[in-house]
Amino acid sequence: MLNTTHHDAIVVRGGRVIDPTTGRDGIVDVAIDDGVIAQEPHGNAFVLDATGLIVCPGLMDIHVHLREPGQAHKETIETGTAAVAAGGFTFVACMPNTQPALDTPDVIRWVIARADEVNHCAVAPVAAITQGRRGRELTDFAALKAAGAAAFSDDGTGVEDDAVMRSAFERASKLDALLIQHCEYRAISAGGVMHLGEVSRRLGLPGLDPRSEEAMIERDIDLCRRTGARYHVAHISTAKAIELVRGAKREGLPVTAEVCTHHLVLTDEACSEADPDTKMHPPLRPQADVEACRRGLLDGTIDCIVTDHAPHSAEEKAAGFLKAPAGIVGLETAVGIAARAMIDDPPLSPLCKGERRGVADWPQLIAWFTTGPARVLRRRAAAVDVGARADLTLIDPRSPWVVNPSEFYSKGRNTPFEGWTLTARSVATIRGRRIRRLAPVVGTA
């Protein structure tokens, strides 16, 4: 288990506090009294040495699969949220492609109650748009929202029927609900196991046409324009798709988008070994699309970074590239991979004239994991502010570590990043009076 301790008073000493909400960036001690950020701690505080660490608001990931109810062999709310905390997140939105689907108020309430019981992080379930995620009859949006649904999505699949999606937009507009779309027309993508292009042809593997993603975004932006409902593109992955969102934002439409960590660092070349842990939907794309994803973040077209954490069992992934289910785990590598993509790595090609290394800085990166996702869900991001409930993440930005899936808290070991050396990593979260630290335990003074 994560090393978890409780304290009435805590001082996080000597860390670099970065808070995108307040714009603060500097070395300062953070005092926590009875779970609330205070001017000074009461009496005998537990001192956490954060020298060399970044202290920021708790990170948010608005796209994870916790697999319960019904698929506990892949992940449970307990193991999934432990992985959430180990990855440095204090809030996640979980997707409804469970068994049964998250399509009734009862099952929404069950997920929230179970997550509260386990208490590793805050969990906001995303309810299904259609009953059973079958793409036909809409769910009861009002009742689901009242039960605690953060948004609506049939994620795992897109809503393909035009009339059904139009009614979803109309209903969402009345309730000011957010629609999150997994953009994929299976009529176009059917049979594809990786991006359709040069690499799929070379490998002789069935390709998945990127039009399946772009065509659905096009239709949905049109529906957004007609109805005014808030619309969010899940795991955007092609240059053309990003251009569509850019246009919609320019038009002033309430459209937002997220990108997955893996789509920022891996191209379809990673599928060359036909390793099932490089199979996902949407698939890994060519270099030009990876660059477009990075640029989309930098110019604000893409609002946030997510993991699309999608655990599968080893047996399922052993079925081979053609038959294995799509998806990879991502929570415990997210900070390191995102930092590598947006801060450490030389850009794939120069993004600006004269630019040599790196494209973003830590305040920017943290915003993509805090204020960005908060804006999408219209929630408040945590703030490192006196009077706020403690909701913090501690990141070590420069201690190389090697990704070893057998150390994951998630049940899923399906990562393409095994053996990668990353430099950044979350080392602890603090929620209220509770500190969760990764082993090796962060120093106390």
Residues marked as catalytic: 308
Q: Is 391 a binder of Zn ion (CB under 5 A)?
A: no
Residue nearest to Zn ion (CB): 182
Smallest CA-to-CA distance from 348 within 289, 287, 297, 421 is with 287
For Zn ion, the closer of residues 31 and 64 by Cβ is 64
Smallest gap from residue 327 Cβ to Zn ion (A): 8
Smallest gap from residue 189 Cβ to Zn ion (A): 12
Smallest gap from residue 253 Cβ to Zn ion (A): 21
In angstroms, the CA 304 to CA 162 distance is 27
Taking CB under 5 A as the binding criterion, the range among 178-186, 240-248, 298-306, 338-346 that sits at the site for Zn ion is: 178-186
In angstroms, the CA 78 to CA 111 distance is 11
For Zn ion, the closer of residues 33 and 289 by Cβ is 289
Smallest gap from residue 320 Cβ to Zn ion (A): 22
Residues 92-131 as b/e (b if ≥16 CB within 10 A, e otherwise) read bbbbbbbeebbbbbebbebbbebbeebebbbbbbbbbbbb
Q: Is 182 a binder of Zn ion (CB under 5 A)?
A: yes
Taking CB under 5 A as the binding criterion, the range among 86-94, 175-183, 354-362, 369-377 that sits at the site for Zn ion is: 175-183
Contact 335, 88 (CB under 8 A): yes
> Tokens for 170?
């109309």
In angstroms, the CA 88 to CA 150 distance is 21
Contact 352, 304 (CB under 8 A): no
Query: Is residue 445 exposed (0-12), middle (13-18) or buried (19+ Cβ within 10 Å)?
Result: exposed
Q: Is 258 a binder of Zn ion (CB under 5 A)?
A: no
In angstroms, the CA 439 to CA 430 distance is 15
> Tokens for 71?
């698929």
For Zn ion, the closer of residues 58 and 412 by Cβ is 412
Taking CB under 5 A as the binding criterion, the range among 4-12, 163-171, 176-184, 202-210 that sits at the site for Zn ion is: 176-184
For Zn ion, the closer of residues 55 and 302 by Cβ is 302
For Zn ion, the closer of residues 47 and 62 by Cβ is 62
Size of the site for Zn ion (CB under 5 A): 2
Taking CB under 5 A as the binding criterion, the range among 180-188, 248-256, 322-330, 412-420 that sits at the site for Zn ion is: 180-188
Residue in the structure block whose two tokens are 């139009």: 166
Q: Is 61 a binder of Zn ion (CB under 5 A)?
A: no
The residues in 140-169 that bind Zn ion, with binding defined as CB under 5 A, are: 155
For Zn ion, the closer of residues 153 and 301 by Cβ is 153
Taking CB under 5 A as the binding criterion, the range among 20-28, 177-185, 238-246, 255-263 that sits at the site for Zn ion is: 177-185
Q: Which helix (H) or strand (E) holds 93?
A: strand 89-94
Smallest gap from residue 93 Cβ to Zn ion (A): 12
What values do phi and psi take at 285, rounded to 5? -115, 170
Q: Is 67 a binder of Zn ion (CB under 5 A)?
A: no
3-class SS shares of the chain: helix, strand, coil, % to 5? 30, 25, 45
Q: Which helix (H) or strand (E) holds 297?
A: helix 287-298
The residues in 329-388 that bind Zn ion, with binding defined as CB under 5 A, are: none
Residues that bind Zn ion (CB under 5 A): 155, 182
